[in-house]
Amino acid sequence: MGGERQRGEGRASGKLILLGEHAVVYGVPALAVGISRGLEARAWRVAARAERSAAPDARPGLDVIGRHTSEDATLAAAYAALLAAGEPVAGDDLAVRVHGDLTPGVGLGFSAAAAVAIARAVESLVHGGAAVPAVQARAMAWERVFHGNPSGVDTAAALLGGCIRYTRAEGPRPFDPPACFELCVGFTGTAASTAAMVARVAELRNAEPARFEAELAEVGGLVAQAIAALERSELARLGALLDRNQGLLAGWGVSTDAIDVLCRTARAAGALGAKLSGSGGGGVVVALVGPGGDDGRAATRVLEAWRRLGFGGFRTAVGAGVAEAKE
Ligand code: MEV
C-alpha cells in the first residue's frame, strides 16, 4: 500500500435546528440538536509522487463522498482554509476521505459535519488528538468559504451533538432535557443554497428594519420558552412554538409550497408542531411527534402521510440513550 502510515479519524453529527435559524445570524439564540446521522473522516499521509501507485487511496487531497478537491474549486478552497487555520498543516502528501449517511444540501448540517469530521481526523493525525478549539477554528474557516457569514450554530451542533442553545456571542450551551422526544424529518426534494437564503433574509431586514427587529426579539422569546418547555417535558407547548417560528420564517420568505405542505400534513397526522429546519428554500422540515417510547406510532403516521404525497423522511429521537430509527 505504497506509503500509507498512521491514520487520523474523526466523526461528527448532523444537526436539526428546532428554533431560531436565520435569527441566530443576527445574534438571537437558536435551539439545535445533533442527530445520529453523521459523517466520518479518515486522514493519512501518502507516499511521495514518484512512489505513488495508481490506487485512488494513494491520491492526496480531500474526497467528500465522491467529490474530490482536484475537480471542485470551492471544495478545494474550503479544504485549504481548513488546513491553514490555527497551526497550518501541509496538504501535499495528505489524503482525506469522508463518508457517511448524511444527505448534503438539505439543512441537516452536512457541510459543518464534514468540516468537523475532517478537522478531527487531521488533528488526530498531526497531533495525536483533537482539541475542541483547534477543531472549531478549522471548521469555521471551512464554513466561511461555503457560507460567507456562518453563525457557527451548525458547527457547534456537529461538534457537540445533544441539545444546545447557541448564540454568536456566548457560543454553545449544551443542556439535557429530562426525557427524550421524537422528531420526523421530511425531505422537500429540493436543495437551496444557505448563502442565498441568508441573503434573502438580509434583504428583508434592510427593507423593513423595524418589523425585522421586533420579530428577532420574538424569536429570542420563542427559544427561551422552548428550552423551558423541554426542561419541563411540555411537548405540546414546544410544538406550538415550532409552529409560530415557522410562521415568522414564512414571513421572511424562506418557506416554500413543499415546506408548507409537509408542515400541514405532519400536523394533520398528529405532529405537535412542524417547521422548516436550516436555511429553508427547500431542504427539510422537522416535525415534533411526541415523547420517545410510544413504539414510534405517531412518527409512523407522519412518515406515511408524507410518503402518500411522495415525500421521503426518517425519524430520529433526541435525548439520553436513544438511537435513530430509520423508516
Ligand atoms: C443554517 O443551518 C442556519 C442559518 O441560520 C445560517 C447560520 O446560522 O449560519 C440559516
Report the percentage of the chain scoring pLDDT > 70.
92
- Rounded to whole angstroms, the Cα distance separating 124 from 76 reads 21
Ligand 1 atom nearest to 197, measured from its CA:
10
DSSP secondary structure code for residue 58 in this structure? G
Q: What is the distance between the terminal CA atoms of the chain, rounded to a whole angstrom?
A: 39
Residues 6-62: pLDDT tens digits?
Answer: 899 999 999 999 999 999 999 999 999 999 899 999 999 997 555 555 565 678 999
Q: Which three cell numbers stand for residue 28?
A: 438571537
Q: Which residues are catalytic?
A: 154
Ligand 1 atom nearest to 198, measured from its CA:
10
CA of 209 relative to ligand 1 center, distance in Å:
20
Residues 224-243: pLDDT tens digits?
Answer: 999 999 999 999 999 999 99
Angle separating helix axes 132-147 and 194-207, nearest 10 degrees? 70
User: Is the pLDDT confidence value at 193 over 50?
Assistant: yes
CA of 113 relative to ligand 1 center, distance in Å:
14
| Among the ranges given (218-232, 290-304, 311-325), the one the predictor scored with the smallest mean pLDDT | 311-325
Residue with CA nearest ligand 1 atom 2: 278
Q: Provide DSSP, 265-308.
A: HHHHTT-SEEEEESS-SSSEEEEEEEETTSTTHHHHHHHHHHHH
Q: Cβ atoms within 10 A of the Cβ of 49, count?
A: 10
User: Is the pLDDT confidence value at 308 over 70?
Assistant: yes
- What pLDDT does residue 160 have? 94
User: If pLDDT is split at 50, 70 and 90, which confidence band does 63 have?
Assistant: very high
| Among the ranges given (106-120, 295-309, 312-326), the one the predictor scored with the smallest mean pLDDT | 312-326
CA of 107 relative to ligand 1 center, distance in Å:
9
CB 2 within 8 A of CB 21: no
- What pLDDT does residue 137 have? 96
- Ligand 1 site residues, Cβ closer than 6 angstroms: 17, 21-22, 24-25, 107, 147, 150-151, 153-154, 194, 198, 278-279
Domains, in order of start, for the chain: 7-174 (3.30.230.10), 176-318 (3.30.70.890)
User: If pLDDT is split at 50, 70 and 90, which confidence band does 320 have?
Assistant: low
Report the percentage of the chain scoring pLDDT > 90.
84
CB 12 within 8 A of CB 116: yes
Give the mutation target among 16, 21, 146 for probing the ligand 1 site: most ligand atoms within 8 A of CB: 21
- The mean predicted confidence, pLDDT, of the chain is 92
Ligand 1 atom nearest to 154, measured from its CA:
2
User: If pLDDT is split at 50, 70 and 90, which confidence band does 179 have?
Assistant: confident
Collapsing DSSP to helix, strand or coil, 57 comes out as: helix
CA of 228 relative to ligand 1 center, distance in Å:
23
Q: Which three cell numbers stand for residue 132?
A: 475542541
pTM for the complete prediction? Answer: 0.91
- What pLDDT does residue 294 have? 63
Residues 94-115: pLDDT tens digits?
Answer: 999 999 999 999 999 999 999 9
Ligand 1 atom nearest to 15, measured from its CA:
2
- Rounded to whole angstroms, the Cα distance separating 282 from 254 reads 8
